[in-house]
Amino acid sequence: MRYRRMGRTGWQVSEVSLGGAYLVGADPDRAQENVRSVVNRALDLGINYIDTAPIYGMGRCEELLGRALEGEARPFYLSTKVGFEPEDFDYTRDSVLWSIERSLKRLGVPKLSVAQFHDNQVSWERITAPEGTLEGLRAAQQRGLCEYIGVTGRAIPLLTSLVETGEFDTVLAYHDYHPCSQVAAEDLVPAARAHDTGIVIASVLAGGLFGHRPRREELLASMAQTERRRALDVIERLQEEPGTLARSAFRFVLADPTISTIASGAASVSEIEDVAQASDMGPLSPELIEELRRLP
């Protein structure tokens, strides 16, 4: 496993990190066992950044993750978010503090490495207003509930504007940077680079397009003709590379030196083992990256 600098935090984080969205696995009755297995294997592989959120399993992921990390001696950075859960979350200062304190109890830790918020349900005005979201995150930081603060989401223009304020130490974008889409690379990544903001990219498998075959075929069937044609061209070219499509998707994003880490939404030990190898293999070649970007 190789490591990169997480922006101005100065942390050296693993190029592949662990996201919690699917960590509980497919069998609810064995969820705790699955979380323990995946987390333990991830740490064995050198992964040292773990990201979760209250909405993952409506709090269950945080609780299971906390139990899995209890007494863990290996070093790791732990981040979670506020927003989406409960449904009427209002992103005010007090609600942000309440959510972070609740997450700390679920996770069984006294302090987060990063406290973040989902941007998709909240406006610029609510974030930056007095008694708003940013003020809540800063209050949490001042109280020692988190070391740094960040923002996550898919509203790329809003994410970019927030990063440009210089207020946020990290940014996480998902579904918008992978071999078939580089939307986040156009404005968000340069803004983060300019402000030395740590960048986490998630969902580089594009909802399963670069994952397991049944899901890939389902997604391809749902696409418009031109979108499907381009996706098939990208997939065909990546299949010429050694390893799995998932590994190649990670290697595509790793070719961007600005990216700090790629979060894997692994649901099993085999999935985290697969994509972790992307770091050891290194990024795709500049020639292949350019070829993929030039596909019509």
- Residue indicated by tokens 């940013």: 134
Given CA atoms 150, 154, 160, 162 in this order, what sign does their dihedral have? Answer: negative
Q: H-helix or E-strand containing 198?
A: strand 198-202
**Mean pLDDT on 198-226:** 94
Domains in the chain, ordered, with CATH?
A: 3-293 (3.20.20.100)
Q: H-helix or E-strand containing 76?
A: none
The answer to whether the beta carbons of residues 68 and 35 sit under 8 Å apart is yes
Confidence of residue 57 (pLDDT cuts 50, 70, 90): confident
User: Is 58 a residue whose pLDDT tops 90?
Assistant: no
**Mean pLDDT on 4-17:** 98
Closest CA to 284 of 250, 243, 240, 252: 252
Q: What are phi and psi of 50, to 5 degrees?
A: -125, 130
User: Is 120 a residue whose pLDDT tops 80?
Assistant: no
Helical H segments across the chain, by residue range: 31-44, 60-69, 93-107, 124-128, 133-142, 156-164, 183-186, 188-194, 213-222, 225-238, 245-254, 269-281, 286-293
Q: How are beta strands 49-51 and 261-264 bridged, if at all?
A: unpaired
Question: Could you report the per-residue pLDDT of 189-210, keeping only the tens digit for each?
Answer: 999 999 999 999 999 999 999 9
CA distance 45 to 169: 26
The answer to whether the beta carbons of residues 287 and 255 sit under 8 Å apart is no
Question: Could you report the per-residue pLDDT of 121-139, keeping only the tens digit for each?
Answer: 789 999 999 999 999 999 9
Question: Could you report the per-residue pLDDT of 236-263, keeping only the tens digit for each?
Answer: 999 999 999 999 999 999 999 999 999 9
Confidence of residue 52 (pLDDT cuts 50, 70, 90): very high
3-state SS class at 59: coil
Residue 142, pLDDT score:
98
- Residue indicated by tokens 């740490």: 43
Q: How far is CA 221 from the centre of its chain?
A: 27
CA distance 280 to 243: 12
CA distance 172 to 17: 12
Residue 87, pLDDT score:
86
User: Is 59 a residue whose pLDDT tops 90?
Assistant: no
Residue 35, pLDDT score:
96
DSSP class of 284: P
Which amino acid, 123?
A: S
Omega before residue 86 within 30° of 0, cis: yes
Residues paired with residue 199 on neighbouring β-strands, in sequence order: 171
CA distance 227 to 203: 18
User: Is 290 a residue whose pLDDT tops 80?
Assistant: yes
Q: H-helix or E-strand containing 91?
A: none
Confidence of residue 93 (pLDDT cuts 50, 70, 90): very high
**Mean pLDDT on 281-295:** 94
